[in-house]
A and B are shown apart, each in its own frame.
Chain A
Amino acid sequence: MSQHPDIVELDALRLGHGRAEDAAHVGGCRECGEILADLQALGDSLKTIAQAPPIQVPAERERLILWGAHKRALVARRRPWWRRSAWAAAALVLIGLGSMLRLSAVQLTRNAEVAMKSEAARPRALASAVSELEGKRGVDILDAFALARAVENHNGGIDVNRDGVVDERDVEALAAQAVSLRGA
């Protein structure tokens, strides 16, 4: 008996494009004949679905769905009166406290500026920590060892490669610096 045609070849037969030898095989092979019949049935059912008219949503149901969505949007936009009052009360308390502590708007701005400056200085601080480590006595393997222990114990450490994470890669970077012939 010749080799069974695969599913693509059988589907080609179903569509009338198959090869003559496959058609001859299917004629004498019960198994392939059944697969071809299944493919035919599947094709017919898909055709029925494709020809079905689109589903119509009843007008009343559509109106209810739209009204539900509209109500949810309104609820999300409106806050209850007591919550608005609470915000107002909190604002009054803050203003009162501000007066008591004589915190002027200028001072607040100045504080914010200082905070922003310190945040911006953070990477520089890290960089200078590494530079300080390098400059003082040169990095050695004990620095990498200490960092490895800190990483293992989740106890912070220096972000040597400045990727924002203190991990094994920082340990490797520090060890590489320790054995570098350029720095030694």
Chain B
Amino acid sequence: MRTLLSGALILLVCACARADSVRFRPIDVYVDSGKEPLAAYQVEITATNARIAGVEGGETGAFADPPHYDPAALQGGRIILAAFNTGIDLPRGRTRVATLHMEEDGAAEYQIRITAAATADGKRIQAKASLEPRQGDLR
């Protein structure tokens, strides 16, 4: 009986510890197109110890809508984000193009790789991509 109670207690402690370690954290996705106006971008993001819970649009009008992504990426650790805008009001420099909502389970790590970027006339440009995690909420 004592053994059974000890086992139950250990399981309870483990469950509580696991619940404490899950954290919901927004990760901002930035693309820096330098002096060129940014009309299109595509990035690939991979995460370890984290699952993608949602995708949100960016800060500027041109990329305010959520980008294109494969719905199969949700609840996984890898996603390709891409968007374009055929308008003329395009951002330059460092721009927040999207925000990922992540469910972290322990010490999460993220990587981003830019695979395409173009300016208004469709010409490929060199751009940099980066991620900026915000303060998350423990659950």
**A residues adjacent to B (C-beta < 8 A):** 140-142, 144-146, 148-149, 152, 175-176, 178-182, 184
Smallest CB separation, A149 vs chain B (Å):
6
Tell me which residues across on chain A come within 8 A of B30, comparing CB atoms. none
Which residues of the partner chain A approach B118 to less than 8 Å between Cβ atoms?
Answer: 142, 145
User: In the bound complex, do residue B81 and residue A144 qualify as a contact, i.e. CB atoms below 8 Å apart?
Assistant: no
Q: How far is the CB of A172 from chain B (nearest CB, A)?
A: 8
Query: Which listed residue, A140, A146, A148, A182, touches B42 by the CB 8 Å rule?
Result: A140
Binds A, one of B11-19, B21-29, B68-76: B68-76
Contact A179 B81, beta carbon cutoff 8 Å: yes
Q: Which are the 10 A-B pairs with shortest beta-carbon distances?
A: A141-B82, A145-B84, A141-B42, A145-B40, A179-B80, A140-B116, A175-B68, A181-B70, A179-B68, A179-B82
List, in ascending order, chain A residues with CB within 8 A of B39's CB. 145
| Measured CA separation A152–B44 after assembly (Å) | 28
Complex Cα distance, B80 from A180, in Å, reads: 7
Tally of contacts, chain A with chain B, CB under 8 A? 64
Flag if B70 contacts A141 (CB, 8 Å): no
Chain A residues in 8 Å Cβ range of B70: 176, 179-182
Within 8 A of A (CB), among B45-74: 67-70, 72-73
Question: Which of A145, A146, A152, A184 interacts with B80 by CB under 8 Å?
Answer: A184
In the complex, what's the smallest C-beta–C-beta distance from B106 to chain A, in angstroms?
Answer: 23
**CA gap between A170 and B59 in the complex, in Å:** 27
Q: Which one, A140, A145, A175, A182, contacts B86 given CB within 8 A? A: A145
Minimum CB–CB distance from A136 to chain B (whole Å) comes to: 14
The reply on B133 being an interface residue by CB < 8 A is no
B63-115 contacts to A (CB < 8 Å):
67-70, 72-73, 76, 78-84, 86, 115
What are 24 residue pairs bridging A and B, where the CB atoms are less than 8 Å apart in the complex? A140-B82, A140-B115, A140-B116, A141-B41, A141-B42, A141-B82, A141-B83, A141-B116, A142-B40, A142-B84, A142-B124, A144-B68, A144-B84, A145-B39, A145-B122, A149-B86, A175-B82, A175-B84, A178-B80, A179-B67, A179-B80, A180-B70, A182-B70, A184-B44
